[in-house]
Structure formats: C-alpha cells, structure tokens
Structure 1
Amino acid sequence: MARPLHKLSAATVKAAVPGKYSDGGGLWLHKRRDGGGQWFLRVTVHGRRREMGLGSINEVTLKEAREQAEHWRLHARKGIDPIKEREKQRREAERNLHCLADVALDAFESRKAELKGDGKAGRWFSPLELHVLPKLGEVPVSDIDQIDIRDALKPIWHSKGETARKALNRLSIVLRHAAALGLDVDLQATEKAKALLGKSRHTPQHIAAMPWIEVPDFYRTLEEPTTTNLALRMLILTAVRSGPLRFMRYDQIEGEIWTIPAEQMKGRLGQTSDFRVPLSDEALQLVDLARPFDREGYLFPGLRKGVISDMTMGKHMKKAGLPFRPHGFRSSFRDWLAEQTRVPREIAETCLGHVAGSQVERAYLRTDFLEQRCLIMTEWARFVTGENEENYDDF
C-alpha cells in the first residue's frame, strides 16, 4: 500500500511546534526550538536507509521541498544513491564553472591570429601563466575583484614593473572576453587594482646597445664562418630583429632582396604586406658562406634541431666580455643614421621595420623607400666592414 503524500500544509509548517513531521513519501520536516526548521528526505537504496537534507524552511518552500523529494525518490527507485548523485553533480558543476584559467586560454585562442607567429612563442600568455593563474586560475572569473588582482601582482609590481604591466593588460583583455561570453565580471577591476597598487617604483632597463663607433671592431672578431658568427654579422648588417633573422630562409631571398613574411614582423599587426630588406654585397657573401650549414632551407640552423636561438648569440657576446645584447645593434644602426647622416626620419624608421607616421599619413604614403634603403644599407655595410669611416653629411 502506497504511503499517503502531502500530509502537511504551509500553515502547518509555520505553526508547528518543535519536533519531526512527515509529509509522506519519505519527506520530513524537523522543526527546531528556535523557530527554524529543516527539510530532509528518507529513502532506502539497496537495503540501506539514506537521509539527505533538502534545505531550510526559510529558503525552501513546502512545494519546492516536495519537488526535490520526488526528484531524488526517482533516483532511489533506479538504485542510485541520491546523496552520492547530488555530490557528483556538485563536483561537475564546479568543474564547469568559468574559472579564470579557462577563460584566459579561450581569450588567448581567440587572439592568436593577431599575434606574431600565432602566439607560439608564448610571450602574450606567459605573464598570466607565471604571475596570475597560479594564484587565481581556479577562481570563477565572476568572483575576481581588484583585491584579488592586487594581491596577485603585488610581489612583482615594483621589482618587475614591465611584466606586471603586461599581466594587468592581459588580464583586462581576459575580463573583456569573459563579458563578451555573457559572464558577469567587473570590467573596472584591473583599473581599480592599479589604483590600489600605486605607482610602480620600477625603472625600465633599456637593452644595452653597442655604441655605433665600436661596431666595426666587434664585426672583425666574427671573421670565422661559424653559424653564430654569421648570424651575428647578418644581424648587424640588416638591422632586423633577431626573430626574423634566426628564421631566415634561402627561398625568401631573391636577387638582392630578402622578404620577411608579414606575420614575423613585430609592430606591423593588421598589415598584410611583407617587409623587404635590401642586402648589401657583404650580406650576400654571408648568404653564400652560410650554405654549408643549410638545414631544411634555414641559413642559421640550431646545433641539433630548429634554428639558432637568440640566447646563443647573446652568450657569444657575454663570453666576449661585452655588456651588450644582440638586439641592441638596431639601436647602434639607428644612432649611426642620426649622428652620421641626414636620412629623413620616416626612411630611417622604415629601415628598422617600424610603422612610421599617423594612420592617415600611412594611408597616403604607400612606399617602403626600397631604393633609398638599398643605398643606406650599402653605406652601413661599408662602415661596419671598415671600408668607409667618413662622415655622411651629404648622404
């Protein structure tokens, strides 16, 4: 015979004195002396009686308690322990929360097309991965506030100011991405955190660059045609960044022009044009000298696989007792242009692959000054190799 259901009423629940009252079907009300009360359900699963709480009478109405009871009785009739099933569902729900780590990865994936080399170098994501996600990665993004962000970045705010700034910038992007997903986030949290952190005491350290007057002497020390020496010589002669240089391929060279794919050019995001680099006679000789090291079409392959690393070139300079870094040769070249020539600024900046001028100016000025840059790189090579040590006031 089925047990009668719905024996209680809302009025009974409210007026009940302390004690336990059955609503039927295993649903019970436990009324306490302080006036509060608790719903609980008794079921039998595999011959074992189970008792699970369904919530306080102040939060769960009689109707809602009955609906919950019926839901969990159905599980019991199927031989499923309702207490274990509810705990399982709770754990799954927690796993499905939009934690910061998941949203950050999703934001990174959506931005890869905008990043150099599809973000494979990891530079966009690493500030978050190293300094934010270890502390906040498992926190639901909707719960993150300025206090959380401040506490996460405080250890590096003054000691690694630039890294902290990048982490804050990336986090702001992630929060905007979360908002676009429809999540409830505080888009001002990063700005509030910045206000709490105060002004950073960190002083940016510029990359140490060799004075241009010393470049020829250093260039002469690279005479032995090793991969490292050849790469450093080409880096000096072309004034490009080490990334495109390390991945330089023979099939990118046509005649006296080396064409760097647009996606390898930092600071030229959104542009579909490649960047042409004029090669001097000295640079073309290096291309021939590098052929014995050719692996998979790369001029400067690594010792075992891939291409030569930026660290390898840096170690060479450090071993020579020099305080300068390979990237600094771009500054050496730019200083030489400024102090020894009358080359217009827009041409000088184009030599470095920089996007010069305003957006409107660039819309009308489509040239890359290739002809003028050919002359410049030829004169730079003559200076570097010691063929010409004169001033270039008329150049």
Structure 2
Amino acid sequence: MGLTTKQIEAARHSMGPERIHDGNGLYLRLFAGGAKVFELRHARGGKPGWITLGRFPEIGLRRARDLAGAARLMLERGIAISELRALLKQGDVAALEAVFEEPGEAMPLATAMPSFRELAKIWFEQKKLGLRNGKHIQQNWNTIETYVFPHFGDRRIDEITVADVIAAIKPIWHCKHETAKRTLGRTKEIFALAKIKQLRADNPADFSTRIALGRVLRRKGHFGALAHEQMPEFWDWLQNVRCECQTRQLAMLMILSAKRTKETRLAQWSFFDSEAAIWTTPEELMKMGRNHRVPLSRQMAVVLDNMSLLTGDHRQIFAKPGNRSGVVSENTVLNLVKRFDPEITGHGFRATFKTWARRQKRYEADAIEFALAHEQDALESAYQREDLLEEREQLMQDWADYVTRGRDPVRLRDLTSG
C-alpha cells in the first residue's frame, strides 16, 4: 500500500516500524530526533543495502518516487553505488538528470507508478493480439471496465489490496458467476504483468475464492437440445410456421449441416463448391482454427438454391444489409426455434445430431467428431491427417433423410414459376 503525504506528516519515530514501505523498494525512515528521510533499498551483489534519496519535506513524495525510479534504472545499468550516492547528495539532483539522459534519446527522470487502468491497457493491447474473435476481444476489456475500474481503476497498481479485488468481484460472484470468474482471471493476469515489470511483488487477485467469496452451487448447463426422436416433427413444423423466409432457410441449413450458428450465419457464396458438393468454412470462422469441410446433402443443396433467389447478388448467403452485422441476427433464429420449444437453442441441434448418429452404431466416432468440427487431442491430430469427407457424405445424407423423412424442402423456384 503506497504512502500519502498526510501519512508521512503524521508518522513519528517509536510509533511503529523504523522504516515505512511505499513500494518498489522506496522507504521512509523515521529518526528519533524527528527527521524523516527517503531511502531506497537495493541488493547489489546479493547483499541488501540502503541509499539515501533525501529528507522530507525538502523533497516531496512524488519527487522521492521519481528519484527512486531513476536510481533503480541507474543501478540496472551498472553505476557504482558510491557514484550514485554522490549524485543523489542534496544539490546534485541536476547532475543525476544529466547522467540519466543519453545523446539523441530523451530519457525522462520520472518513472511514476502506473495506475491499474494504465497497466490494464498495456495488458489488453498484448492480449488481443492472440485473440481472433472480435466479440471475445471486446469482452476481455468490457468486463474489466465494467466491474473493476469503478473500484480501483485510477489507483496506483502497487496500492491495491486483496480486499479491494474481493470488493470488486463480490457483487457479481453469485448472480453472474461465469462473468465474475472471467473478470477475476483477467484481473489476475494484469497483476501478473505488474509482477513481471517489478511494479509489485505479490498478486492481490490470487486468492482462494471459496474462502473469500464462498461456494457457488450450480449445475453445469448445456445448450437446450431437442430429442432426436422429435426432429422430424420439428422439421415439419418449421416448413409451415409463419416466419421470414430467410430465417426459415437459415434454420434448415443449420439443422441439416450440424454447423454452429455463427458458421452458418456468416457463410458466403464463395465457400460453396456446387460441382463437388462441398461447403468449406475458412479457419477464421472456425472455433478450432482450421478449415472445415461439410459434404452437401441433397436437401442442403435445395436450401442453397432457395437462398440464391433471395440473396444471390450479395456476398453473404444470409445477407441483411439493414442489420449491424450485415446478416440475419443470431437472436432471430433463436427466437424462431423457441416458438416450438422454449427450452431448446439453435446450438442444441448439434447435440441432437450427435445423439442420433451415435445411436445408429454404423458411423465411425471420428467421422461424427469431424462433422461437428470438434477439436481432437494432440495425439489424434498427429495421426489423423484426413477429415474423412467420403465417410461423412453418407452420414450427412442419412441425417438429412431422417430429419426430413426423405423429402426435399419446398423449392422456391417451383413457387415462383407457378
């Protein structure tokens, strides 16, 4: 916890420890005669020692921190202790500044301790380079900005305590538990960066959450999935329910392909090879970070033909220029399927597909996992170089025939020609 000027003014010898720590090796030493001196602790040659920076109030707290930062850097550069002490004698501060500057490079003396917010910005700029999903990137920053900054965003990074972190996380620990866990994890990373930069020696976000915040009783949730026996019934309902045609086609393609909602919504015409009957989703849209191929069933081809009449002049299949994303929104298709059953989700159809496929007991487990674009472990990936596309052709056609009872979706060309 950093010192304040008021604390320094009130401090007296014999009322506590002889030296009071401000942070980063800077101490205020109290003498019996009333003198108060700023000192920097060092460990040159592995042996602890002290360097006097100046008396208070001749030099203030901010100036002492600046001098401490400059002295630490000079020690790192190899300056002799005796030379540094000579430069730090009262009246020789200008000489220290002169040494601290190098030709052609402005080297400011001040090395002020950053605030949590300032260090968080450095952490975020580094972290987002390793993230690809725009929504996920923004979530990393938004959780810190929403739940942490109001508590101690503008305080010095070395002033923040475990109690401060607990106070920030506690209000959402039980009601928004997953968000709270992620926020705490990101806060811990920021303080870990502070340790790496030698801005503090501990990590106040590293504590037992069970002791500090209490246990959270919860059941592990899964995406609501429709029983596979109900899929033909749902398909029939989907053909007749009143909804926007584009939303209906999106739901059908999601079901028939067992693809994730995002992968289907953002599909582009260039992803499809009609002659080879293959849909290839590029790696930047895939959760596993690799291209994913799906063999097109007869029914999927009909859906694509329908969409060519609706959005064939756009780059994206499910284009919606009026929407912020430029395509049909995720909530639009989610709201549609919930009209059939409030407990199910669009993503849950993938679980329905997997359950059905495993119950058939005639498809290789690897083929099913490739169909769902699930990440394999490192050993399996090393030996399994193919994506079993030929095996999956029959799997996807069998699934489509089961869902549709062997019938094709309504062809929009037939309706327009009539």
TM surpasses 0.5: yes
Which residue pairs with 1:343 in the alignment?
363
Q: 1:293 aligns with which of 303, 310, 322?
A: 310
Shift of 1:176: 3.1
Unpaired stretches in structure 1, ≥5 consecutive residues: 1-33, 40-53, 72-92, 389-395
Which residue pairs with 2:345 in the alignment?
325
Q: What SS does the corresponding residue of 1:277 show, helix, strand or coil? A: strand
C-alpha separation between the residues in 2 aligned to 1:257 and 1:125? Answer: 38
Which residue pairs with 1:264 in the alignment?
285
Q: What SS does the corresponding residue of 1:259 show, helix, strand or coil? A: strand
CA deviations on 1:339-362 (whole Å, 9 max, x unpaired) are 233323332222111112x31231
The answer on whether the counterparts of 1:241 and 1:327 sit within 8 Å (CA) in structure 2 is yes
- Within the alignment, does 1:247 sit opposite 2:248 as a pair? no
Moved more, 338-347 or 190-199: 190-199
CA deviations on 1:84-115 (whole Å, 9 max, x unpaired) are xxxxxxxxx89x75333333333333233432
Sort the Cα spacing of 1:220 and 1:130 in 2 relative to 1 into closer, same or farther, 3 A.
Answer: farther
- Within the alignment, does 1:177 sit opposite 2:193 as a pair? yes
Which residue pairs with 1:309 in the alignment?
329
Sort the Cα spacing of 1:386 and 1:189 in 2 relative to 1 into closer, same or farther, 3 A.
Answer: same
Moved more, 192-201 or 295-304: 192-201
Which residue pairs with 2:296 in the alignment?
279
CA deviations on 1:210-232 (whole Å, 9 max, x unpaired) are 11111222222333671111111
Unpaired stretches in structure 2, ≥5 consecutive residues: 1-31, 38-54, 65-86, 96-109, 408-418
Which residue pairs with 1:56 in the alignment?
57
Once the two structures are superposed, the pairs formed by residues 1-395 of structure 1 within 5 Å of their partners are 36=34, 55-56=56-57, 67=91, 97-119=113-135, 122-184=138-200, 186-187=202-203, 189-193=205-209, 195-223=211-239, 226-255=245-274, 256-266=277-287, 268-269=288-289, 273-294=290-311, 296-302=314-320, 304-305=322-323, 306-320=326-340, 322-356=342-376, 358-387=377-406
Shift of 1:237: 0.9
C-alpha separation between the residues in 2 aligned to 1:359 and 1:70? Answer: 60
The answer on whether the counterparts of 1:209 and 1:331 sit within 8 Å (CA) in structure 2 is yes
Sort the Cα spacing of 1:206 and 1:185 in 2 relative to 1 into closer, same or farther, 3 A.
Answer: farther
TM-score between the two structures when normalised by the length of structure 1 = 0.69
C-alpha separation between the residues in 2 aligned to 1:362 and 1:188? Answer: 39
C-alpha separation between the residues in 1 aligned to 2:406 and 2:125? Answer: 50
Query: Which letter does structure 2 place at the counterpart of 1:328?
Result: G
The answer on whether the counterparts of 2:225 and 2:352 sit within 8 Å (CA) in structure 1 is yes
The answer on whether the counterparts of 2:320 and 2:327 sit within 8 Å (CA) in structure 1 is yes
Shift of 1:68: 9.7
Sort the Cα spacing of 1:68 and 1:315 in 2 relative to 1 into closer, same or farther, 3 A.
Answer: farther
C-alpha separation between the residues in 1 aligned to 2:339 and 2:283? Answer: 34
The answer on whether the counterparts of 2:273 and 2:279 sit within 8 Å (CA) in structure 1 is yes
How many residue pairs get aligned? The number is 313
Sort the Cα spacing of 1:284 and 1:130 in 2 relative to 1 into closer, same or farther, 3 A.
Answer: farther
The answer on whether the counterparts of 1:171 and 1:190 sit within 8 Å (CA) in structure 2 is no
Shift of 1:177: 3.5
C-alpha separation between the residues in 2 aligned to 1:161 and 1:350? Answer: 32
Sort the Cα spacing of 1:303 and 1:199 in 2 relative to 1 into closer, same or farther, 3 A.
Answer: same
C-alpha separation between the residues in 1 aligned to 2:207 and 2:406? Answer: 55
In angstroms, what is the RMSD of aligned CA positions?
3.4
TM-score between the two structures when normalised by the length of structure 2 = 0.65
C-alpha separation between the residues in 2 aligned to 1:35 and 1:114? Answer: 57
Sort the Cα spacing of 1:319 and 1:100 in 2 relative to 1 into closer, same or farther, 3 A.
Answer: farther
